[in-house]
Structure formats: C-alpha cells, structure tokens
Structure 1
Amino acid sequence: MAINRESLPTVNFADFGDGTSKSALDIGKKLFEACRDVGFAYLINTGIPQGQIDGMFDWSAKLFALPIETKLKAPHPPEGWKHRGYSGIGREQVSQLVFDPDELRAIRTGKFPDFKESFDLGSKDSQTLPNTWIPDEDLPGFQTYATNFYNTCREFQLSILLPALALGLDLPKDFFLGYHEANENQLRLLHYPGAPTSVFESGERGRIGAHTDFGTGTLLFQDDCGGLEVETPSQPGVFMHVPPVPGTVLFNIGDFLMRWSNDTLKSTLHRVRAPPRRDGHGDDGETKERFSIAYFLGADKEKTIECLPGCSGPDKSKKYEPIKAGEYINMRLNATY
C-alpha cells in the first residue's frame, strides 16, 4: 500500500562551510534528526552541479541503449561482492536479509523478477577491485565522465556529508573520515526498461522490491519518471511516494551505519514501483522507462567497527558484536547475485 500524506525532510547545506560554525552544527543536527526519525532526506545545496548530474543521466541513457553484445563486453563478475561492470535484466534479484541458498534460489527464479539492468564502477585507483569498462571505441568519453562524476560525489561525501553526520551525533567532525579512507564506494547506473503495464499489474515483472541498502549510506539521483517509495515511519508496511524534486539529492542510511549506531539511526525499507496507468486518454499500455543513479558510501573493508560513542548506555545496551566492514558487506552482496 502506498500513500502521499507524508513527505521526507529537507536538509540545506548552503551554510555548512568548513563545518566549524554554529550553522554547520545546526545542519548536522537536522541531518541527524532526519536519519534517526525517517532514514531518508532530500539534500539541497550539496555543491554537486546539476549540469553534471544531468550529463551523467545522458551518458547512462547512451550506455543502456547500446546493443546487448556491446554491454556484455564489460560483464559483472560472477562474485556478488565484485560490484563492477554490466548486469543484465534479471541478473540481480534484491533480497532482504535472506541468506539461505534454497530461499535465494526461489527468489531468483520466481514470479517477481526485478526488471532492471545496471552498470557499476568504483575508484579508478583500486588495486583489489579494478573497474570493468565498455571499450572506449564503443562509448568514447563515458569512462572519463563517469569517473569525474564519481569523484564529485566522493568530494561531497568527505567534505560535507560525513562531517555533518558526525556533528549530528556529537562526534568530532572528522570522526567518520578515518573509516572511509580507502574509497570503497560504488557508483551504480540503473535502467528500468519500459514494458506493457499489464506485466507489472499481474506481478510477472517488478521494479525493485522492498529492501534496505547495505553500507554507510546512499546518495540517490532520480530522473523525472518517479516510482520510488519509502516506508512511512509512523505506519510500518505502508509506503509513501518520494517524487523527484529538481535540485535535490536523496540520502538514506544503510544497514551498516544503522548497526554501527546501535540502531539509533534508521535504515528504512524502500522500493521502486512501476508508474500506475494514466487515467483517461493517452494510456498506450506501456510503462515509461526509468533511470536512476546511486552512489553507495562504503567503509574501509579492513576497519572493524563497534557501537558509536554515545549510542549505548545504562538504558540502551549494545546489540551487536564488532565486525569488519568487508565481512558484513560481502555477506549482503553475495545474497543478491
């Protein structure tokens, strides 16, 4: 069930500066409240140029319009944790905290396959997980543009987002930077092809089912199609529409940071639904294609995390054992492929 009565909070970074002012602290507190109460927020004045975002969507459309044999020149490796390259339609099936092999097999072969394709990339300097690119002669300019966009998101992550999260949690503003030095992030380009509306209504196909993200958090860029829904904080099981808003970037908490904060911060279920049929004239029976771009923030794989300072006490015991970031994320990624 989806409703429209509630909306996400908005956090404005215009006055964040270098993170040392009273305004920066206020912004951090507002971000913390959004992450505690909802787990999602619209971000404005991030410093990520809208023109660069629009350009990345243009390149994404060019990429997914290539013939399948060209896209498969950069195949996603069989290992789920190697999030690089192209994944065709149906390759990845989102599962929410399911790890049993038989249950996963049923999800992947069942009636409700996730109807999407994707392309993943990360840091160009990674020695352990190099990028897999479409040959430049097949898509000249794409590698350079995508790398630059990744780096722009990384700059926002380090200079504003992570310091603001730390300030909101009453931690030193550079607290999270020491856990995100290795650039273990992932940029994902997503394409949801158009299809007859009837196949979505029958359940033969889906977009993405209800799930949470794995890592520290996610920056999400939407096109104008819509379809994203977030679980309403006050009504579990009821989802609210999260329409694309020009000039904003969506941010949501991931399961890793929720665990790290001893469940103080909220990793919220969200899903992507196909748009409903248009009323009246003009419904051609075809669902519009959708593009989105996700930048997943990941902690350094070899860093061990335990409950954040201030997130436990006499009235709130520690729920989780310490764990390495890589161990946790790999467990989650391997369940999706």
Structure 2
Amino acid sequence: MFDWSKRFFALPHESKMLAPFPDSRTHHRGYTFPGREKLPDLGDSAEIPLPSVKESFDIGREDDDLMPNIWPPDHILPGFKESCLAFYWKCHEVEKNILRALALGFGLEEEWLVKHHRMPDNDLRLQHYPSISLESVLTNKVARISNHTDYATLTVLFQDNVGGLEVEDPNEPGRYMAVPPIPNSIIVNAADFLRRWSNDTIRSPMHGVRVPQDAVMKDGMLPDRYSIPYFCAADFSTVVDVIPGTWSADYPKKYEPNSVGQYVLKRLVDGY
C-alpha cells in the first residue's frame, strides 16, 4: 500500500487534481493538496498551531451515498482503486478486533462496540509529507502536521521508517514523546468520540509530526515521509450514550447522548 501511495503522490499535480477534494467541507474524499487542510482547533490550549506541510488522498466504502469516493481516471494509475479498496476492508477487520478487545476491557459482551460500527463509516487516508528544510521545522515556521487530536472512535495508523510522530505525555502536559516506527506493527490511537463515549475513561492524546530522532538528511532537508491512517467511526445513523460501567453515582455522566453523524461531520467542517 505504501508503494501505491508513493506512486500516486509522484503523479503530476494536474493528474492528482483529476480527483479533487470537493468544495463541500462535509464530503471528505479525494486529493487534498498541501495547504488545503486548515490548522486544527485546539480549543483552550495555549499552543499555537503551525502551518502543516502535507498532501493526502481520502477513500471510503464504495456504497457510501453521503460521501462517494472520488477516483482519478483508471488510465492515470491502473489498479490503484482496486488496491485501495482491498486495503480499506482489511483495515476494517483489524478495527473490529480492536473494538472487541476494548469491549472486553470495559467488561461488556465482545461484540458490543462492533455492533455500533457495522457500516463502516470510515476513512482511509494516504498521506505524503514532502521533503522540507530542517531549519524551517526547528525554528517553528512549519510542522509536518501540527499537534491535534483525532475525532472519531479510533485511528489505526501505519507509518514508514522515517519517523517523526510525537504524542503528548498524559502525565506531563506539554511534553511530547517520540513514537518511533516498529517494523510490522500498527499504532492504535484513541479519538475524541471514544473519549466522550467512555466518559473520559479513555483519553484522546494530542499528537503531531515533527523532526525524527534519527533523521537522515541531505543538504539540510528532511526526507519525504509517508503514513496511512485509517479513521474508524461508529455508524453515522446512531445516537450513543456513554458506555455502561463508565459512570456511577460517584462518577456521573459527563456527556449527553450524541449523534455520531452530527459530531463527526461538524469536526470535518471545522478542519477545512
């Protein structure tokens, strides 16, 4: 899949723009050129988000009437569509196994969370961080991607061997720790809706991409970086209350029942 990603982003800009991200900010599909995505809304955080330098391509299920896929013409990159869709559904199987493990951890029936993720209303994103100067990152002129939280249930992340991913220390706000690539592994990242859903039992960590610890550079330039996040959301049509067992008389519910679709779509609009 990384090979397909590299081949897509190596296409001329004009070819990639044959599958453009729509002007509608709720249609989260197709190609996004560098600078199109807005800076994240960090709420009351004192951090000042930096301009993010990356390009991406978003894919969903083919039968999604709300957000149909936007593909480049077949002759541009033959086999690209089929490979993306096959990988999308493999990621969905991984997602379901993670949800089963979470449900057991909450003391629930194994399929409890899977039942809320039937559709699936998910987003597979190919991401490319072009080579940029080390100086521009160290002087906080830009970031490969600014610090942010994800917003659905969870994210399954594949990263190449370049590195640079950092996550905020949950015990020391403002301190970021490197998340180095581990061969043949994935990263599972809790997102904001899961935080609400679990009544803050599981937190969604702030994270971003900056300078890798062992960056191999040429002429002061950071190398290209590729990653593939799979953003997992509960079915848009459902309204969920906080997970049973995460609240009590001594620890009451912090959140009202919420529509998955309304919450996720609002976050999508805020990001573009």
The reply to whether residue 135 of structure 1 matches residue 70 of structure 2 is no
Residues 268 and 244 (structure 1), Cα distance of their counterparts in 2 relative to 1, 3 Å cut: same
> Secondary structure, in 3 states, of the residue corresponding to 1:59?
helix
Residues 251 and 235 (structure 1), Cα distance of their counterparts in 2 relative to 1, 3 Å cut: same
Aligned to 2:123: 186
Query: What TM-score does the superposition give when structure 2 sets the normalisation length?
Result: 0.94
The reply to whether residue 67 of structure 1 matches residue 24 of structure 2 is no
- Retained in 2: the 8 A contact 1:117–1:190? yes
Measure how far apart 1:333 and its partner are: 1.2
Residues 249 and 276 (structure 1), Cα distance of their counterparts in 2 relative to 1, 3 Å cut: closer
> Secondary structure, in 3 states, of the residue corresponding to 2:70?
coil
Question: How far apart, CA to CA, are the structure 1 residues paired with 2:22 and 2:247?
Answer: 40
Aligned to 2:21: 76
Measure how far apart 1:285 and its partner are: 1.0
Aligned to 1:271: 208
Question: How far apart, CA to CA, are the structure 2 residues paired with 1:276 and 1:268?
Answer: 20
Residue of 22, 43, 59 corresponding to 1:121? 59
Aligned to 1:259: 196
Residues 61 and 234 (structure 1), Cα distance of their counterparts in 2 relative to 1, 3 Å cut: same
Q: How does 1:79-118 map to 2 (within 5 A)?
A: 79-98=24-43, 112-118=50-56
Unaligned ranges ≥5, structure 2: none
The reply to whether residue 171 of structure 1 matches residue 108 of structure 2 is yes
Structural RMSD (CA): 1.8
> Secondary structure, in 3 states, of the residue corresponding to 1:287?
coil
The reply to whether residue 197 of structure 1 matches residue 134 of structure 2 is yes
- Retained in 1: the 8 A contact 2:162–2:215? no
Unaligned ranges ≥5, structure 1: 1-55, 100-105
Q: How does 1:1-337 map to 2 (within 5 A)?
A: 56-98=1-43, 112-158=50-96, 160-275=97-212, 283-337=218-272
Measure how far apart 1:128 and its partner are: 2.1
Question: How far apart, CA to CA, are the structure 2 residues paired with 1:251 and 1:219?
Answer: 5
- Retained in 2: the 8 A contact 1:90–1:114? yes
Question: How far apart, CA to CA, are the structure 1 residues paired with 2:23 and 2:161?
Answer: 32
Structure number, greater radius of gyration: 1
Higher relative contact order (CA 8 A, sep 6+): 1
Letter in 1 for 2:227: S
Question: How far apart, CA to CA, are the structure 2 residues paired with 1:182 and 1:205?
Answer: 37
Residues 170 and 72 (structure 1), Cα distance of their counterparts in 2 relative to 1, 3 Å cut: same
Count matched residues.
269
Query: What TM-score does the superposition give when structure 1 sets the normalisation length?
Result: 0.76
Question: How far apart, CA to CA, are the structure 2 residues paired with 1:335 and 1:121?
Answer: 19
Letter in 2 for 1:122: G
